Structure 1
Amino acid sequence: MSPMAQSAPASGAPEPGALQPLLPSDPSQLAGYRLLGRLGAGGMGVVYLGRTANGELAAVKVTHAEQADQADFRARFRREVEAARRVVSPWAVPVLGADPDAPEPWMATAFVPGPSLGEAVRGHGPLPERSVSILGGAVARALAAVHTAGLVHRDVKPGNILLAVDGPRLIDFGIARATGETGLTSTDMVVGTPGFLAPEQAEARADEIGPAADVFALGCLLAFAATGRPPFGSGSMDALLYRTVHDEPDLAGVPDGLLDLVRQCLAKRPAERPTAEEVAARLTEDAPGAAADWLPAPVVTTIAARSAAMLALPAIDATAPGIDPAAAQKPSRRGFLLLGAAAAVLAAGGGAYALIDARRDDDTQGDGKAPAPKRNTWAIGLLADLSGPAKEIGQAQERGARLAVEQFNALHKGKPFTLELKVSDDRGDRGGALAAARRLTTDPSVVAVLGPTSDDTGQAALPAFEEAGLPLLTVSAGYNMLALRAAPSPPNTTVLRAIPNHIMAGTYLAWTATLLPQIRRPGVLQERTDDQYSWQYTGGVRFGFKYAGITPHFRVVPGRATDYRKIIGEMIDAGIDAYVHCGVRSTAVRAARALKELGFTGPKFTGQHVFGSAFLEEAGAAAEGWFVCAPVVDPVARAADAKQKPADHKAVQDFLTAHRKRYGTDPAFYTGESFDVVNMVTSWLFTSAAKGPLSRKGLWQALRAQSYTGAMGGYQFDDHGELKGVGTFVYGVENGAYKAIGAAPSSPANKKA
């Protein structure tokens, strides 16, 4: 597959959403717009809500100055402005102003207070058939205007469709291209969003990318709106690109009245797809004008709430031209309405008020005349799944973090500051993870955060930490892109990963298997329930076996597969002498039962997403003899290891004693690592407090550079924030329990290549 660029620099900010407070570093004015808050932010820039002197609201996209200095950037941004201005349609957001030549190029478009299609579906579920039909007709008409202007949008996706009471709006022409134009983008670069691009885009066939590519994306969009999921699934970029080119779409749940049209839009060959005009003609029902009944009630409520929030924004500046300053200060009915709306906003979610108030307290005593008193309480944040699917891990992390904070306060009573633990439960829900993260990142007392529990919530929450410059330390999220960023994205200065990423963990698992010299033909199953994890883990396993000179038998199955007896039977017939499961717990249970039923006697291996008590309970006797690699140490086994250095032995024994005293039980897996990581932060804070005022600025770099030894072992990080060393540990299932075997090897035991 070709290299991937998900969006051009001008389109780096994510979809505009609910209004967030301005940061201290944000400007208050830009080119005649008073900036009122943030609608979104990313590595390439920020989208602000702005208002002109006459009260007109706009979404103002501002790019970072360092992006503007990159080759081709201004040409791309200028092209985005020109493309957006060429499109004339009631269903495309118009450009109100722009300056591609400014030190930080900007563009203002009309503000739509509603959510994006993606946000609406994630928050409220799929749309009914009538809503999808009206949505499709309006977007098709917008695309017809794009194509009439001689352009191809090339990034039609749920985040680029905003929902308003009078119909949807198409936004973002950052990677739009004139038909037949190939300049400014490498011919071998895939441009667009995986899962919402055409096969010709997925294979970077530049000469074939035309209006039909937008129609294919429209088909993906309609399927998503109707079912709540993309028709080619989710997961890694390579997997999505492969499925887009080779697999048939999953259209289960698309209403019968739309099914044929969606299928035609998703034809693999561009010539077999209808035009945007033909799609619009077939979706004959007009958009609803001023009525809001084209959308489900919960979505309308969201639009209404955001519209009401606009009423609660600050009044137009009294010094603006044409406004009488005296008159502006007189009470009015609008003033009372604004007061009521503001109260409603604060009642619904006081995070914005809390941040503004806390920012004032950091700078003054409230009257603007004197510095605020020095802060004597700081906080460690915990972002974890405490009540969702991974609550076993999240609750263990909370115990470890709380124990570390309590220990710090007990040891340093009366010292420069006291520590608190502030907890935010993301419930394992990707849709709510960003809001859960912002409860911590907007709190100025929080200096660093332990979390997240899972990959999905980590990806969703990451923008909040990047915007705030707040370190995020994880002991359980192994998705590689949380720390390793592909160019042209800015390098990671946010995440410290205290475990191996999934690719390296898969490599260590393969090298663990080579400790058994009889293995010559391992079978490797990649199942796609969590495609992102399984694809990365399989990639590591593939590399590990290749480096050892071993050729496995690979099999890939969809996540919905249930007949594991047949799947495993075919692998056994192919001559496998070991089994490696790259997938989640539920499918590992199926595989374990099938292997037992079929009498397979070879060794069986799996990784992090299977490790835990649930696998033992659900697989029962079929789990016996499995080897499971996980990024955690058994603290009881570590305490019993007489080979440790005396200081290390004392550290783990003290941890066990403290945990037993505090909680009355031995610590669960992931508790010790959380205890260590929080102690790593607090030890740096205590040392630094003696040198001057504490600040979270520069903390990531300071933590990354240090070497720390805790109860569970040592922690060092490379320049990317990735853990140095192996960090993967092997467990065997024996008599229904995990038995610690030791650390995974750092190289294959029987290397042949």
Structure 2
Amino acid sequence: MGRPGTTTAFTGYPRASGEAGPDAGAADCCERAVNETPRARPGIQPAVGVDQTMTPPDAATDVQTTALGPDDPVQLGSYTLLGKLGEGGMGTVYLGRSETGRLVAIKVIRADVAGDAEFRSRFRLEAETARRVARVCTAEVLDAAPDAARPYLVTEFIEGRTLARFVTESGPLSAANLEQLAVGVAAALTAIHSAGIVHRDLKPSNVVLSPFGPRVIDFGIARALDSASNLTGNLQQLGTPAFMAPEQIQGETITPAVDIFSWGGLVTFAATGRYPFGDASAQVLLYRAVNEAPRLDGLDPPLREIVADAMAKSPSARPTAQQLMLRLLGEPSSVAEIDPEATVIQVLDGWKLPTADGTGSTGGAGGDGTTVAAGREQRPAATVRGSGRAPRSARRMALVAAGAAVAVLATVGGVLALASGGSGADGEGVKVVDILPKSDVGLDDDTLVYSSEQEGRRAIYSLRVGPDGRPGQPQRLTVDDTKPAALPVIVGPQRKTVLYTVIDSSPSLVAIAADGSGAPMPLFTSGPAAELVIAPDARASVDPTGRFVVIRAVRGPNDGLTGLYVAAVDGSSVRRLNVPAGATDPSWSPTGDRIVFFVGSGGVDGGALFTIDADPAAAGAKPVQLTPGTEGFDADPTWSPDGKKVAFRRAFDPNLAETDVFVMDASPGATPLRLTEAPGRDQDPTFVAGDGKLIAFTSQRDGPTNREIYVTSATAPDDANARKLTSFRGDDATPRWTSG
């Protein structure tokens, strides 16, 4: 390999005497690309560090890699490792050389995955299957070592820039190359699917634009991940947010149709330089993929129609890879089986990527989608036929490049959080808080949110209370009647978003604009937060900035224990608080520094109240007990707007037949003040936004009737004058006036 600053030219399959030249037909080129290895050009000097006696064709190349570290192997079986091409969720990808001198890409599985016996068994079967994939626009799987201490998969090393890098550096593909790409990748999918394999992570960084046409890489062991019992949810759900199909995002059955959807997104990117659902964080892209139509502006009408069908929300509505090829070839009504190899040879005849110096683009790409450039001069950005588009701005190009670079990390792994800036970070790109759906105007301080069950359907409502204390008409925010929505909380200082919990067999956290406009947005669908298994009836609470959520989960990342977890709303970070497993109903202080919660006692619905430092840096923080839990069972804590007091409900018997609302200073040993005492079950207190002089709560005061929402003084017992806010038909519960 060449040292930094040196160039050792290596540009493909150069002709010897009597061989076809650069303009030879694709049939000859494809045959040699499959069956031969590149020959070194006369006069090329071997790269530094390469054995000078080496005569095989791959002896000289300028592939850019990272140097091997002290913990990296130097030999795997018969392969000599030359450097690292990239690292991803499942392990490390190396550039290697076979005994015959052929360059290969070697994926080495990480140790904890390798320790799963079921994974090894499936890995063996899947690798063998992958080796039978027809070599049609794919990277050939050459070897596998499922029984090695660290299992590995060996594929041919494909020369050329990835589609991601080509578009970033040189702009969208020209019309002819775009059509060839569309057919070539469809042909590769036909071969892959015919072998019984689903790629699951088709994206621009997994397509190499070789001198002889597009080549799809990084397939072959995806299904083995499903069987690995110790894999995290991230790794089991392969895919990259910008190109994932709706059913993949929602955890439904994976079929070849997910690759067809990704094909549509990939072709859109190749034609326009844009992701099919725009530039945004992972959370936004996943939401758009499920709920919005792809953005296909810039595609010529015939191709646009095919791409639109490929990206249909329903998997059954998408064409197969064979049908894609027939439509691309103008034979949509044909029922004949296509020979992908013969077809692609015809279509790729004349394939040549333009570069500034008029030669084919060079470089290499490892099996992880890592791009290695050959130091060629870049050409101006191409335009799409008929689009009239000017080259993208430098900033736009940087964003695409950043997205492609991050996607490399998902090599054989799963969904990675692509949110720019990480958890709430400032700087260029979308801030974490900005991914949430928002109303144009936030809820004012006179408005609360709550859940109400009417005719067996539980939904989220908002309710404005006038200056005279009289409530207006409730506004329904959620419209999905199939799953009960409960435990709402208002987000952020602008109060433009509401979070709520969907109570289901697999509870989930959802965000919606505070005025109910637009579709709800599921949270925690990617990144480490995707591994959270939210507890039934878990109420979320949000930090004052709206960037982080604290919620109870029965399991966290890496088989984390039951307890309270703090997660970025974009799913990019998760940490478990140092609290007992029974901790629940957390509430984040408006000052942002503390979280209050209760821990059940004796198996009853209640116990004692505690606080803990909410600072992510305070990992060793310990809970501080606020109430003894011996005078009654204390639960449902919430903060006052100034962060100085905590309101809660106290039960006086294990059956919760009588519960009342109390308020106390947020310090250990403080004496609670009892605010309600009328017979009934007063619970779920929430301070009225603003000065905090009033408290709303749920109560069931009129015997065996539905729960309703009341408001009373937060500073003195005044139960006799408690005002009923809801008297509508239905069971009203869990009001929230603030985010805490």
Query: Taking structure 2 as the reference length, what is the TM-score of the superposition?
Result: 0.43
Q: Greater helix share, 1 or 2?
A: 1
Query: Taking structure 1 as the reference length, what is the TM-score of the superposition?
Result: 0.42
